Structure 1
């Protein structure tokens, strides 16, 4: 089992891919609650250059509440990250597969939430 749900957006700028990804998340009830510009951080901390790379911490409040209610320590695995990185010919967008991420979680309620979020992410990636 892979651990991400992926889509390659060809012929688009990083900025356009990010805007489309943020819009798709919002359309599906997710908010971006954290953001890490990995390339800028590596430059600042290590003085190393890398291609554009950003991590968006996405949260669907209803699903997050249900997961936490079912398994209170699940917060250590939240939010559900979406990564964008520049590649030859476009931008790769990858969302964590919550089913794979929650594989060790025993509570059925949290597993159900993971399956629901996975389905949303898979549909979202197809429409990007």
Structure 2
């Protein structure tokens, strides 16, 4: 099962892609709540050098609220992570597929919400 929505931005670095990703998320009503620079963290904690890799924790408050009302513990699976990572020809941007992640929770009320969020995240990725 594919669990991400992906697009490669050819010839673009992670640093160049990040503002574009943040703007595309904002255009669909998402804010970035968390940010993890995996490259820096692995260097600092393990002394490992890896290619640029960043995780942005995106949230659309209305949708998060609906999900929490349908399933109070769903916060353990939020926010929607979007990763930016260096690949051979540029930067790959991948967003979580909420249908894949929410399928682990046996609550049919979440599927409509997850579908709406997936559609929005797909538009974000396509718009890049």
TM-score, normalised to structure 1's length? 0.97
- Bigger mean CA deviation after superposition, 39-48 or 101-110: 101-110
Q: For residue 35 of structure 1, give the secondary structure of its aligned residue in structure 2.
A: strand
Alignment pair present for 1:33 and 2:33: yes
TM-score, normalised to structure 2's length? 0.97
**CA distance in structure 1 between the aligned counterparts of 2:14 and 2:41, rounded to whole angstroms:** 17
Q: Which runs of 5+ in 2 are unaligned?
A: none
Count residues in correspondence: 128
Partner of 1:46: 46
Q: For residue 63 of structure 1, give the secondary structure of its aligned residue in structure 2.
A: helix
Partner of 2:113: 113
Query: What is the root-mean-square deviation of aligned Cα atoms in Å?
Result: 0.8
Q: For residue 111 of structure 1, give the secondary structure of its aligned residue in structure 2.
A: helix
Q: For residue 29 of structure 2, give the secondary structure of its aligned residue in structure 1.
A: coil
Q: Which runs of 5+ in 1 are unaligned?
A: none
**CA distance in structure 1 between the aligned counterparts of 2:86 and 2:76, rounded to whole angstroms:** 28
